[in-house]
Amino acid sequence: MKPTARMHDLGQSLWLDNITRTLLDDGTLARYIAEDSITGLTSNPSIFDAAISNGNAYDDAIRAKTRTGLSGEILFIELALEDLRRAADLFRPAFDETGEVDGWVSMEISPLLARDTQASINAAARIHQQADRPNLLVKIPGTPQGIPAIEEAIFLGIPINVTLLFSPEQYLAAAEAYLRGIERRIRAGMDPKVGSVASLFISRWDVASNKQLPAELHNRLGIAVARQTYRAYCKTLDSPSWKKLAAAGALPQRLLWASTGTKDSSASDTLYVSALAAPDTINTMPDVTLKAFADHGKLQCAIAADGGDDDLTIAMIAQAGIDVDALATTLQDEGAQAFAKSWQQLLQRITDKATKFAALATGSKGADAR
């Protein structure tokens, strides 16, 4: 049995952290589903920027949509949703078979809205309606301004992937927003079944801290924070407030491990997959990490509900000079800035391609006229 199948049997969902039109067209995503137990998918502006810039898979669609008058963000969202609808349909069997727990895809609102609560709510509502798929999560960052947007979106019945979480405290803020949104739906007599995941970013911790730590503490901070967060997650699912909502028919907001590709070339290429095995969680990984784990991954013991000895690891890292709480805030801020930069690059790339195609079309018409 493949390591990916064993992980699935443990109760952890494996999602792909990638989407391209080529993956859909050549059957690669379908093969990941059939052969590697992939049951969902996440996307972000950086992923779409790379997909659109590397090759010509989107050129015909950009050309056609430009001719109809679409441009900028509106054009991109249509491009992205064309891909994500197709992916959502591939995952629909998993969505139905698991009672809407698994089988999701994700689409990000504009990262430029990370500090604007009402604009985030409005954008999430538009994407949810435009997507027209029950198994599409709208990604809203778990920034201080994003938390009330998450609560309101859940209340409105919009499935949400809370992104850019970096600590147990940030996770708990997202979890509490989800619970409040569901509680409000129940009080209003509405269906409490609204999907959500909370995405904790892992490898960025180690990229930021390794250079300040002794070698024996390299690549340990992200895993330690994740295990502390898993402890908070288990406590949330064991709380009276959650059990009351579950009894009413609510879905759990599942904890998702994001940014699980190994960035340190001296470390195992499956480091964050093997170390973060846990039931009722999700690991979303890039293609290279998925292939590595499917080929030679080792399934370690599942994370202990109490987080194991990771408080000691955090204490050792703090003694080495890392302010973990401050770094969590910095990483969330930097993550929001990086996604905003990718978003702007993406829109500029689409604009450049559209301008090029328009110029070629004009030149062609001029040549025909002559």
* Residues tagged active-site: 139
CA dist 199 and 165 (Å) reads: 6
Taking alpha carbons only, the member of 179, 91, 168 closest to residue 137 is 91
Report the alpha-carbon distance of residue 204 to residue 332 in Å, rounded: 10
Integer Cα distance of 121 and 156 in angstroms: 9
- List helix spans (H) across the chain: 3-10, 21-25, 28-36, 45-53, 59-67, 72-97, 117-131, 146-155, 168-187, 203-209, 221-237, 240-247, 271-274, 287-296, 310-319, 324-369
130 with 82: CB under 8 angstroms? no
Cβ distance 212 to 322 under 8 Å? yes
CA-angle at 285, arms to 280 and 288, nearest 5°: 145
Query: Helix, strand, or coil here: 111?
Result: helix
- And the tokens for 234? 């288990």
Other CB atoms within 10 Å distance of the CB of residue 254: 21
User: Length of the chain, please?
Assistant: 370
d(CA 156, CA 34): 34
Instruction: Please report, for residues 169, 275, 324, the alpha-carbon distance to residue 229 in angstroms, rounded to integers and kept in the order given.
Output: 8, 14, 13
Are the beta carbons of 218 and 210 closer than 8 angstroms?
yes
Distance CA 232, CA 253 (A): 13
- What is the rounded CA–CA span in Å between residue 339 and residue 319? 32
Type of residue numbered 323: D
